[in-house]
Amino acid sequence: MEKCVTLKDKTFGLAIPYQQIHRAIVELAARINEDYRGKETPLFLGVLNGSFMFMAELMKEIEFACEMSFVKLVSYSGTKSTGKVSELIGLQDNVAGRHIIVVEDIVDTGESIDHLMRSLVGHEPASVEVATLLFKPAAYKKEVPIKYSAISIPNDFIVGFGLDYDQLGRNLKDIYKIKQ
């Protein structure tokens, strides 16, 4: 029988089991290790809240000296992007001249990542790339290149592995897709 979870008024069915998520993260980390080896102390910048689980899993596979830090950017409520993006908070004075890897849970329309990149560029980093666990290519409307994407998914609403439905479901080890 299909594995399901119910959060408030919605039911979700298993879409991406943990083993598959883990494999995709290990492969992504291998690419990042290859590209950043020898560069001066890159800084991984996790975007809270959604990236916490991906960040933890990714960082365990990173093999070069690096720093990490977290920022927060809230743009979402319920199951549809509001299109409104609020302020970037928590950015410290350690961005100028650094190689930055922004760590996101998911890139959907791209509103959030676009806003965050604009704020970051103003702080004059040496380079900025995006690493996201999930990417919805069919929903993406921006031009920011998404260099490191672990898993591309269709345009469905999902929860688990850090992603929420009204703040619920972030703790789920697997990723679940909404049932219509």
The residues carrying an active-site annotation are 108
Q: Does residue 50 interact with Mg ion by CB under 5 A? A: yes
Residue 105 beta carbon to Mg ion: minimum distance, rounded to whole angstroms = 5
- The interface with ligand IMP within residues 72-91 (CB under 6 A) comprises 75-76, 81
Q: Does residue 46 interact with Mg ion by CB under 5 A? A: no
Which residue number, 126 or 139, has a Cβ lying nearer to ligand IMP? Answer: 139
User: Do the bridges between strand 148-152 and strand 175-178 make them parallel or antiparallel, or are there none, so unpaired?
Assistant: unpaired
- 157 touches, from Mg ion, ligand IMP, none (C-beta below 5 to 8 Å by class): ligand IMP
Residue in the structure block whose two tokens are 């549809």: 80
The correct pick among 32, 45, 110, 135 for binding ligand IMP (CB under 6 A) is 110
- The interface with ligand IMP within residues 29-68 (CB under 6 A) comprises 50
Residue 37 beta carbon to Mg ion: minimum distance, rounded to whole angstroms = 28
The one-letter amino acid code at 71 reads V
Q: Does residue 152 interact with ligand IMP by CB under 6 A? A: no
Binding residues for ligand IMP (CB under 6 A): 50, 75-76, 81, 104-112, 157-159, 163-164
